[in-house]
A and B are shown apart, each in its own frame.
Chain A
Amino acid sequence: MNPPTPHFPPPARYGWIRPRWFLIGLAVGLGSLAWSGWKISRTDYHPGFTRFHSLISPEGNYYPTLDEMCAIVRAKCRPDQILVIVGGNSILLGVWQRGEDIWSKRLQELLGDRFCVINFAFRGGSPTDGGAVVAEALRREFPRQILIINEAPVTNVESFGHGPYRYIFWQAYFGGKLMDAAPREKQVREYLRDNPDQRLPVLETRISIWFDSALHYHDFWNWITFKYFGTVPSYREEYFPHFLRPRRVYPDPEVDGTDPVYLEHHYPVSALDAEMRIMRGLSAFYHREADGRWVLSERSTSDLAMYSNEAFPAPLKRRTLVLISGNSPYYRRLLTEGERAMVRQTFVDTVGIWRRVGYPAMDYGWDYNADDFGDRTHLTKLGGWKLAAQVAPEVSALAERLGYFR
């Protein structure tokens, strides 16, 4: 005897569906969307692109794809120009600088028409994020290229991106667009071995990239959300109620740090302790000799050298200009003389190590004044323009050394 079946409601009716036409329609619709996505992935829909500001970047829940960024490069940069891609973090992104005053624009003016400067830095990005991935993916199409990145002193750089921007690296990595680099492969393997909780998310990313390579839905939906209507909220308080608006109409929210209105926000008392702790914390990597010299510990030296050496594939090191970002004198002056010497030494050592392993490197900010900074590290328009003036000759010289003018 079988038990009685309870009275579930009748199944939902789909009698209106004609199976054959439905399946043909589905196939045709999916094919059309995939074809549209493929076309879009080769189209630049960011006219007048300046940077991925917070409302068109992952922090605003908009995830630019690798293809989208490559399309911007192709649209902006002529084949006869030397491509200069700016990567790195919020400092090079130009936080505290309005889009029209951004330092990378000034760099373009100073370098002239022989160069094409494109800013792909992200807030909280690492040197191997966004811009670095795009540059490497385009190495054959744009062989005359220079990558500008930045980092804080005594910071180890992973070769496969960082945090919320690592998806761009995975897109290139699993999409087969990067060079073979054994040290990077090793770091990826070790990362997955040491972080078992990341194995499934990375597998998930890998499968999504596999699907996307056929269907191009990431590019398609980015295009829709940028040009026509928002498909996901931005999570930014002031924009949330209007999240259906296309992202192209969202203004670049960065403000001019030199505007008197914002001066009082530069160095808030509430941030003082934390900022000083960051600077003083660098002493953890150092010991002081009897003669008063600050010496970087052996472990930190070898780690920094190893990570810097492996951050980029060997053939790409020479075209990668590393900037070690300085601190505002507002905070530096609060350090004791000994602490100031220690902080200075961190810059000297970090630049030295990056150079030793094969990168052109420089630090900046020691001769800037407090108005050049919007906070401890970010530059205002004044500081940004000083940085552009300092970097432009280095870029030109680097292009010369690499034989790009021949």
Chain B
Amino acid sequence: MIFTTYWFLLFAIAAMTVFRLLPGPVLRQGWLAVACAVFHWHFAGPAGVKPIIVLMILTFLAGLTRRGWVCVLAMIASVAALCFYKYSLFLIGSAVAPFSAALAAALARLAKSVMPGAPPLGVSFFVFEFVHYLFEVRRGGEPIRNPVKFLLFAIFFPSLVAGPIKRYAQFLPSLGEAARSPFSSADLAEGLARAGLGFAKKVLIADQLTAYIDYFQPHFDEQGFLGQWIILAAIAFRILMDFSGYSDIAIGCARILGIRLPENFNWPYAARDLQDFWIRWHISLSLWIRDYVYIPLGGGRQGWPRRSLNALVAFALCGLWHGPARHFVLWGVYHGCGLGLCATYARIPQLGRVVEQVIRRDPVIGWAVTQLFAWLGWLLFFYPTAEAWHMARQLFGL
């Protein structure tokens, strides 16, 4: 919603114009830092900004020490903050309530009394970027010594709300180049085209599909066979258009400033298998999960059973990252299982070889199975488990 507000439009025009008019990298970066702080303050409010400032200072200082254990402690603090702000009520409800309802109620009351009304804006993105930064510094990467540059890495306004999740080794050179380089009409034109595409995806397609789904989904059972599948397609395209539209706006706005952000989507509904899907869908998150969860867990180095388990854990966390609810975890596990199956089905005696040959001979079958799997997964993502199961059964006439 933030990118489709008039306030953002006015802010973006002012911030980008002044950035381009100012001479020299110091003034430009200083101005951009002020603009990003204004943006963050406006949309997050004081309650949303304070925890991020604390985490930011902690991460910055921990990075400067370059000591492994300090970085690990700072990472733990970041993840703990994320768990506290986003998942504490969910964790209390899931882990404590089954054993003691009274204790769960008391803990929930305590948590609510110290938490702001809603989790700080973009807290998941902040934490992921901070963990990435600390992880890389701990591994020997060069820390960011300039606080303004670190601030810009942390609260760069185009990517603050919904990513893409940046990598500092990629972002900082691009920022430096943008601050030094003169105005480029190519950047402006391409940035405007990209942001315009994003607005069109979001407003003209995603929002209209949302209205369609909001109207028809409650009457899902009454729809015919075709109508039910059209609703599923609408759900699948709505999330793609909405999320990739947001990413396009972020990438386009950054491009107008002369800064390159990583791509986040690459035609995911053209994927021919589930691994391919996750290389194309929310790429910056997939790569983050791969680099900072899956590989540290052991990745695919210890045989296929361990590899499948690692994928399952990584994707359960990926699901949980999307929101504090069981159906998100299930969605993650669903994809984890799918990836496990995708990586191992060929080993199934006889049947596996046959299936592999069929898919190799006719890639359309692989594409259809992958999309069916991913699209059905959206039911789990958007609706409570029982409702998603009911809808899935209806789709197959069961």
Residues of A at the B interface (CB closer than 8 Å) are 1-12, 14, 17-20, 22-23, 26, 200, 203-204, 207-208, 210-211, 232-233, 235, 240
Partner of A3 from the list B141, B185, B192, B266 (CB cut-off 8 Å) is B141
CA distance A241 to B283 in the complex (A): 35
Cross-chain contact A12 with B263 (CB below 8 angstroms):
yes
Q: Are A240 and B215 also in contact (CB < 8 A) when A3-B141, A26-B192 are?
A: yes
Within 8 A of A (CB), among B168-198: 169-170, 185-186, 188-190, 192-194
CA distance A145 to B53 in the complex (A): 58
Residues of B within 8 A of A2 (CB): 141-142, 169
Cross-chain contact B194 with A203 (CB below 8 angstroms):
no
B139 close to chain A: CB less than 8 A: yes
Q: Are A207 and B10 also in contact (CB < 8 A) when A5-B169, A5-B170, A8-B262 are?
A: yes
CA distance A5 to B208 in the complex (A): 37
Cross-chain contact B140 with A1 (CB below 8 angstroms):
yes
Contact with A along B185-225 (1 / 0, CB 8 A): 11011101110000000000000100110010000000000
Within 8 A of A (CB), among B1-56: 5-7, 9-10
Cross-chain contact A11 with B215 (CB below 8 angstroms):
no
Residues of B within 8 A of A1 (CB): 140-142
Cross-chain contact A8 with B194 (CB below 8 angstroms):
no
Residues of B within 8 A of A17 (CB): 186, 189-190, 193
Partner of B6 from the list A8, A14, A18, A204 (CB cut-off 8 Å) is A204
- Shortest distance in angstroms between A85's beta carbon and chain B's nearest beta carbon? 30
Cross-chain contact A8 with B189 (CB below 8 angstroms):
no
- Shortest distance in angstroms between A364's beta carbon and chain B's nearest beta carbon? 39
CB-CB nearest in chain B for A61: B211
Q: Are A233 and B208 also in contact (CB < 8 A) when A1-B140, A2-B141 are?
A: yes
CA distance A403 to B167 in the complex (A): 75
Residues of B within 8 A of A232 (CB): 208, 211
What are the 8 closest A-B residue pairs judged by CB atoms, nearest first?
A3-B136, A19-B189, A19-B185, A207-B6, A8-B262, A3-B141, A22-B189, A14-B190
CB-CB nearest in chain B for A20: B185
Residues of B within 8 A of A19 (CB): 185-186, 188-190
Residues of A within 8 A of B290 (CB): 6
Cross-chain contact B5 with A204 (CB below 8 angstroms):
yes
CA distance A203 to B287 in the complex (A): 39
- Shortest distance in angstroms between B389's beta carbon and chain A's nearest beta carbon? 27
- Shortest distance in angstroms between B4's beta carbon and chain A's nearest beta carbon? 10
Q: Are A3 and B194 also in contact (CB < 8 A) when A8-B287, A12-B263 are?
A: no
| A–B Cβ pairs within 8 angstroms, 20 of them | A2-B141, A4-B169, A6-B287, A8-B170, A9-B266, A9-B283, A11-B251, A11-B260, A12-B263, A14-B190, A17-B190, A18-B189, A23-B189, A204-B5, A204-B6, A207-B7, A211-B9, A233-B208, A233-B211, A233-B215
Partner of B284 from the list A8, A20, A26 (CB cut-off 8 Å) is A8
Contact with A along B133-169 (1 / 0, CB 8 A): 0001001111000000000000000000000000101
- Shortest distance in angstroms between B342's beta carbon and chain A's nearest beta carbon? 20
Residues of B within 8 A of A26 (CB): 192
Partner of B188 from the list A10, A23, A211 (CB cut-off 8 Å) is A23
CA distance A23 to B191 in the complex (A): 11
CA distance A376 to B262 in the complex (A): 62
Interface of A is mostly: loop
CA distance A22 to B188 in the complex (A): 10
Interface of B is mostly: helix
- Shortest distance in angstroms between A386's beta carbon and chain B's nearest beta carbon? 40
CA distance A10 to B90 in the complex (A): 38
Residues of B at the A interface (CB closer than 8 Å) are 5-7, 9-10, 136, 139-142, 167, 169-170, 185-186, 188-190, 192-194, 208, 211-212, 215, 251, 260, 262-263, 266, 280, 283-284, 287, 290-291
CA distance A12 to B248 in the complex (A): 10
Residues of A within 8 A of B280 (CB): 9
CA distance A235 to B211 in the complex (A): 8
- Shortest distance in angstroms between B23's beta carbon and chain A's nearest beta carbon? 22
- Shortest distance in angstroms between B290's beta carbon and chain A's nearest beta carbon? 8
CA distance A19 to B183 in the complex (A): 12
Residues of A within 8 A of B169 (CB): 2-5
Residues of B within 8 A of A200 (CB): 7
- Shortest distance in angstroms between A23's beta carbon and chain B's nearest beta carbon? 6
Cross-chain contact A211 with B6 (CB below 8 angstroms):
yes
Q: Are A3 and B284 also in contact (CB < 8 A) when A204-B6, A211-B6 are?
A: no
Residues of B within 8 A of A204 (CB): 5-7
Q: Are A8 and B141 also in contact (CB < 8 A) when A2-B169, A22-B189, A204-B6 are?
A: no
CA distance A207 to B164 in the complex (A): 28
CB-CB nearest in chain A for B197: A12
Residues of B within 8 A of A6 (CB): 167, 287, 290-291
CB-CB nearest in chain B for A209: B6
CA distance A5 to B173 in the complex (A): 12
- Shortest distance in angstroms between B188's beta carbon and chain A's nearest beta carbon? 7
Cross-chain contact B211 with A5 (CB below 8 angstroms):
no
Cross-chain contact A23 with B262 (CB below 8 angstroms):
no
Residues of A within 8 A of B136 (CB): 3
Among A8, A14, A232, which residue has the most Cβ atoms of chain B within 10 A? A8
CB-CB nearest in chain B for A17: B189
Cross-chain contact A233 with B212 (CB below 8 angstroms):
yes
CB-CB nearest in chain B for A233: B211
- Shortest distance in angstroms between B221's beta carbon and chain A's nearest beta carbon? 17
Residues of A within 8 A of B6 (CB): 204, 207-208, 211
Cross-chain contact A5 with B167 (CB below 8 angstroms):
yes
Cross-chain contact B10 with A12 (CB below 8 angstroms):
no
CA distance A10 to B185 in the complex (A): 21
CB-CB nearest in chain A for B280: A9
Residues of A within 8 A of B291 (CB): 6
CA distance A3 to B132 in the complex (A): 10
Residues of B within 8 A of A210 (CB): 10
Cross-chain contact A8 with B185 (CB below 8 angstroms):
no
CA distance A9 to B186 in the complex (A): 21
CB-CB nearest in chain B for A18: B189
CA distance A34 to B136 in the complex (A): 50
CB-CB nearest in chain A for B137: A3
Cross-chain contact B185 with A23 (CB below 8 angstroms):
yes
Residues of B within 8 A of A23 (CB): 185, 188-189, 192
Residues of B within 8 A of A22 (CB): 189, 192-193
CB-CB nearest in chain A for B263: A9
Cross-chain contact A11 with B263 (CB below 8 angstroms):
yes
CA distance A7 to B284 in the complex (A): 10
- Shortest distance in angstroms between B39's beta carbon and chain A's nearest beta carbon? 14
Residues of A within 8 A of B10 (CB): 207, 210-211
Cross-chain contact A14 with B193 (CB below 8 angstroms):
yes
CA distance A3 to B260 in the complex (A): 18
Among B140, B215, B284, which residue has the most Cβ atoms of chain A within 10 A? B215
- Shortest distance in angstroms between A109's beta carbon and chain B's nearest beta carbon? 41
Residues of B within 8 A of A10 (CB): 263
Cross-chain contact A14 with B194 (CB below 8 angstroms):
yes
